[in-house]
Amino acid sequence: MPKVVFQVHHLYYLPQFLPVAAALQQDGNFQVVFSPVMLSDRTDYDLSVKILQELNYPILTGRSESDRIKRLLAHNFDVTIFGKAAHAERYCSPSTLAVLLYHGVGFKRCYYTDFSPRLNVRYIEGQYRLQELLKYGYKIDYVVTGFPKLDVLQQAERQQIIDRLGLDAERPTILYAPTFYPSSIELVSDELAKISQGYNLIVKLHHFSWLLPKYRHQRSLWQELAHRYQHIRLLPVEEYNIVPYFLVSDVLLTDGSSTAFEFLAVEKPVIRFTFYKLRWKHRLFPGYFQKRLDQAIESELEFAYQLSGLDDLERALTTALSDTANKRALLPKYKEKLLGEVDGQAAQRVVADLKRRLKI
């Protein structure tokens, strides 16, 4: 029975990995193991281990990170699945099938530049990303499967989420999902909390906003606002998967987060803040900041309402929910282009390709 290990660098890789792990187990021909990376800050590792234990997955760990890597190599796994490619050769044996199942579909160039020659195959969501990746000339197999992270939309229960969060069914629901950097949090949070008082407001901070000391002010700001305003629901760090909350949200507010594209799966309006609080070096040398971003993807945001300041936020919410700008008609087109098939079967397509490669 082939052995498959998922290399978990961060907790937020799990939404992409877990549907594939479930499909592998359902197939019955694989042994599935997870191996969280032992970072210097153990909070991320401890959270990953806790959640994986609750899901009853076997976990491979060690006394230290170097010991964990030794044990990985000693097991000689048939397949190693990565969420990012860097230094893949350190974590798998020469005979291992090395797979990249990239963790996000966002605005940063690392989607294309994160590559290791050790990789054998990369599973990608749709034709647009395939054509962009082919321009780099990497020697790797690409297989279009859809985005496994979105498979959960076929399983999540909308009413259960409404009841659990105590949402007011008479109000529209806003989902605010900022990234940690470049972020809109410092610039919009106070005003957003005030403007949204006639709505339900669900706030899903990035994992790093919770765990990294340099971003702790982002967490503290929203903890204070959630305490002050009854309509705000701040999701805790343990809520590592944002996708089920798409089902109960009527509009997404975001900035440089992958959710701007992932939310296309439910064909609901997206409002994107295009202004951020930048680090001093990026203010002084904006060219360095621009190098971090995928410039081509900016031309694929016709479906979103883009705000360069806070003045139009209230009007944008009204416009988006009433669709007076007729953007809803664009959503199915961009959904197919940027996400590929969203049918709950992306993980099954990954498994089918693995079986073909392993000749099962």
Are 164 and 303 members of one domain?
yes
Give the pLDDT of residue 170.
Answer: 93
Query: Same structural domain for residues 333 and 349?
Result: no
Instruction: Give the mean model confidence (pLDDT) for residues 321-332.
Output: 90
Residues 264 and 334 placed together within one structural domain of the fold: yes
pLDDT at 114 over 90: no
Tell me the average pLDDT of the chain.
91
Give the pLDDT confidence of 19-48 residue by residue, as tens digits. Answer: 999 999 999 999 999 999 998 778 899 999
CATH of the domain at 162: 3.40.50.12580
For residues 184 and 329, membership in a common domain is answered with yes
* 186 and 333 inside one domain: yes
Average pLDDT estimate for 336-340: 94
Q: Which helix (H) or strand (E) holds 22?
A: helix 14-27
Examine the domain organization and report whether 113 and 177 are in the same domain: no
Q: Please compute the mean of the pLDDT values over residues 59-65 and round it to a whole number.
A: 95
- pLDDT at 228 exceeding the cut of 70: yes
Task: Please give the model's pTM, rounded to 2 decimal places.
Answer: 0.93
Taking only the tens place, the pLDDT of each residue in 231-267 is 999 999 999 999 999 999 999 999 888 999 999 999 9
**Quick one: pLDDT band at residue 288, thresholds 50, 70, 90?**
very low
Pair (172, 61) in one structural domain: no
For residue 23, the domain's CATH number is 3.40.50.11380
**Does residue 319 carry a pLDDT above 60?**
yes
Sheet with 200-203, strands from edge to edge, namely: 232-234, 200-203, 173-177, 251-254, 270-273, 305-307
pLDDT at 284 (0 to 100):
55
Give the residue numbers spanning the domain of 261.
155-339
**5: exposed, middle or buried (Cβ count in 10 Å: 0-12, 13-18, 19+):** buried
| Domain identity same for 45 and 106 | yes
pLDDT tens per residue across span 120-148:
999 999 999 999 999 999 999 999 999 99
User: Residues with Cβ < 8 Å from 226, sequence gap 6 or more?
Assistant: 203, 232, 233, 234
Compute the C-alpha angle 213/217/223, nearest 5°.
Answer: 115
Give the tens place of pLDDT for each residue, 147-156: 999 999 988 8
- Is the pLDDT at 109 greater than 80? The verdict is no
Q: What average pLDDT does range 331-352 have in this prediction?
A: 96
pLDDT at residue number 292: 54
Residue 309 pLDDT greater than 90, yes or no: no
Please indicate, yes or no, whether residues 113 and 196 belong to a single structural domain of this protein: no
Count of domains forming the chain:
2
| Cβ-based neighbour number of residue 180 at 10 Å | 20
Over residues 309-315, the mean pLDDT reads: 89
What percent of the chain has pLDDT above 70? 94
Is 299 found in the same domain as 174? yes
Do 58 and 201 lie in one domain? The reply is no
Shared domain for 332 and 221, answered yes or no, is yes
